[in-house]
């Protein structure tokens, strides 16, 4: 079982729709959760992070965390063509005194104009 | 604030040759990471430094890869000899290392092609 699992996609949504990206993780000791966006040929950039169960909203982005189900999601409202990218889920835990960050394989999102 | 600097941006070598990548993290960031990202995959951690010391190199192919971090600042990653399967983007990232929930800041990466 992979430590962090994502559907590779592509996930295609029409412009203006809500895009829903999902991620599951295997280690119950995981403590914090991140969503990075990676445009083709570019490096990942952080867009959202969440530590506690529930929802966290930032503009058009909402991160949702359910530790009991070991599930993290990212909702993008009013999707724009500029949101087309690969979204990487990353999971962080304290491991022997240092922070271990593990990435999923990413979900490719295509927003159709 | 200056970001994470990496060089070179691109490198093409033949198999069995050697190559080195350089990274300068954000000033004050104690933790430095080297990730390998193969096309279509997520970043895979190769090695993680906390200040001068290595805290995780469990996925580093030590027969051919080596890395060092000088005086807790700059870092170099070397591959010798390179194999075809080493073709990937090598990403350097840094973080403050102040507790759980470290945000990683990435450099622009080095795209390596092994022919």
Which has the closest alpha carbon to B21: B6, B35, B31?
B6
What lies within 8 Å, CB to CB, of B26 at 6+ separation is B1, B2, B3, B4, B94, B105
Chain position carrying tokens 């809500």: A18
Tell me how far apart the alpha carbons of residues B32 and B23 are, in angstroms, rounded to a whole number. Answer: 9
Q: Does A57 touch chain B (CB under 8 A)?
A: no
Interface test with B, best of A10, A47, A99, A107 (most B CBs within 10 A): A99
pLDDT for B59 equals 94
Q: How confident is the model at residue A54 (pLDDT cuts 50, 70, 90)?
A: very high
| Percentage with pLDDT > 70 across chain B | 95
Q: What is the dihedral of CA A61, A66, A71, A73, to 10 degrees?
A: -10
Q: Two tokens at B84?
A: 């075809």
Q: How confident is the model at residue B96 (pLDDT cuts 50, 70, 90)?
A: confident
* A96 contacts B100? CB cut-off 8 A: no
Q: Residue B68, SS3?
A: strand
* A102 contacts B108? CB cut-off 8 A: no
Instruction: Name chain B contacts of A99, Cβ cutoff 8 Å.
Output: 31, 95, 97, 99-100, 102
pLDDT for B72 equals 81
pLDDT for B100 equals 65
Tell me how far apart the alpha carbons of residues A8 and A82 are, in angstroms, rounded to a whole number. Answer: 19
Instruction: Name chain B contacts of A43, Cβ cutoff 8 Å.
Output: 91, 106-109
Phi, psi of B70 (to 5 degrees): -85, 125
- pLDDT tens per residue across span B50-84: 988 999 999 999 999 999 998 889 999 999 999 99
- pLDDT tens per residue across span A20-36: 999 999 999 999 999 99
């Amino acid at each position: 079982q992979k430590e962090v699992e994502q559907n590779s996609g592509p996930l295609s949504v029409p412009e203006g729709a809500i895009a829903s990206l999902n991620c599951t993780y295997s280690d119950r000791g995981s403590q914090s959760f991140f969503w990075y966006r990676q445009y083709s040929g570019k490096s990942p950039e952080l867009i959202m992070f969440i530590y506690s169960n529930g929802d966290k909203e930032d503009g058009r982005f909402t991160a949702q965390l359910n530790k009991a189900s070991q599930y993290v999601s990212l909702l993008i409202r009013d999707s724009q063509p500029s949101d087309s990218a690969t979204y990487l889920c990353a999971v962080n835990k304290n491991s022997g005194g240092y922070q271990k960050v593990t990435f999923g394989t990413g979900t490719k999102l295509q927003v159709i104009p | 604030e200056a970001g994470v600097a990496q060089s070179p941006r691109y490198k093409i070598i033949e198999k069995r040759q050697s190559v080195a990548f350089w990274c300068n993290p954000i000033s004050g960031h104690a933790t430095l990471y080297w990730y390998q990202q193969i096309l279509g995959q997520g970043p895979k951690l190769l090695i993680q430094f906390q200040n001068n010391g290595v805290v995780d190199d469990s996925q580093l192919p030590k027969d051919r890869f080596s890395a060092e971090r000088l005086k807790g600042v700059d870092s170099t990653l070397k591959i010798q000899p390179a194999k075809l399967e080493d073709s990937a983007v090598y990403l350097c990232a840094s973080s403050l290392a102040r507790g759980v929930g470290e945000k990683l800041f990435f450099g622009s990466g080095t795209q390596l092609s092994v022919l």
